[in-house]
């Protein structure tokens, strides 16, 4: 069994909770209220803009130029493909400039991106990959599970197609192989740390659906938003 097979097995109950979450089920059968998806798109654009930076930190931490180059291509993919998809959703869902300017990251979006930065800042390449891998892999499995669904809502169809695509699957496989390769020469302590990061990100993925489904807010209104980095 490979290292990532072990991680996948350990994360299974957490991933099952994501598969069964009403947000994910609602994408497949169109029972997801559009206001929840709208909220998700804004929070996810924030998430992806920081995810791209975690990918860039992985590029900088690589000890071979090939891996730096490959991770830089992943940054470009996040910017040109996934974030572009979100820009399309924003147009389709009439999310205005004003909505975008008044956007505040919700507690979970803020915590999940902070978790990725923690791994990127204090860890090595393996730590960053372990922290970002559920982001790739879980979505690919959700895309696989929903691929035969034909939701009435066209925006949900587009979402499913994006994550059930050869383009996305290639990126996922690359990161799985990269972590397995790193694990071959890693110490037990490193692998335990990577497992912990992977499982925490898996929990955050679940929390992200919950955040969007419940339109999560900070418990107390901020006195004044100064600026949000996007």
Ligand X SMILES: Cc1ncc(CN)c(N)n1
List the catalytic residues: 205
The distance of closest approach from Cβ of residue 16 to ligand X in the complex, given in angstroms and rounded to an integer, is 17
Q: Which residue is nearest to ligand X (CB)?
A: 135
Tell me how far, at minimum, the Cβ of 89 lies from ligand X, in Å.
Answer: 11
Nearest residue (CB) to ligand X, 24 versus 135:
135
Least separation, in Å, of the C-beta of 204 and ligand X? 8
Residues lying near ligand X in the complex (CB under 6 A) are found at: 44, 47-48, 82, 135, 139, 205, 208
Q: Which is nearer to ligand X, 85 or 191 (CB)?
A: 85
Task: Return the number of the residue (57 or 135) whose C-beta is nearest ligand X.
Answer: 135
Cβ 109 to ligand X, closest distance in Å? 8
Q: How far apart are CA 14 and CA 134, in angstroms?
A: 11
Closest to ligand X by CB, 119 or 135: 135
């Amino acid at each position: 069994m490979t290292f990532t097979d072990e991680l996948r097995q350990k994360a299974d109950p957490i991933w099952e909770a994501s598969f069964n979450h009403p947000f994910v089920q609602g994408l497949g059968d169109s029972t997801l209220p559009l206001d929840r998806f709208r909220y998700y798109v804004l929070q996810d654009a924030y998430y992806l803009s920081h995810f791209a930076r975690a990918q860039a930190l992985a590029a900088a931490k690589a000890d071979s130029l090939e891996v730096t180059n490959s991770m830089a291509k992943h940054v470009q993919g996040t910017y040109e493909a996934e974030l572009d998809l979100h820009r399309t959703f924003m147009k389709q869902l009439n999310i205005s400039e004003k909505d975008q300017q008044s956007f505040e990251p919700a507690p979970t979006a803020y915590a999940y991106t902070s978790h990725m930065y923690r791994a990127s800042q204090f860890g090595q390449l393996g730590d960053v990959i372990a922290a970002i891998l559920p982001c790739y892999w879980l979505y690919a499995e959700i895309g696989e599970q929903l691929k035969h669904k034909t939701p009435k809502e066209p925006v949900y169809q587009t979402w499913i197609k994006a994550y059930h695509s050869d383009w996305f699957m290639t990126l996922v496989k690359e990161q799985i192989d990269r972590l397995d390769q790193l694990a071959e020469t890693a110490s037990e302590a490193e692998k335990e740390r990577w497992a912990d990061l992977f499982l925490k990100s898996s929990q955050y993925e679940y929390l992200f659906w919950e955040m969007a489904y419940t339109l999560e807010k900070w418990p107390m209104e901020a006195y004044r938003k100064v600026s949000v980095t996007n």
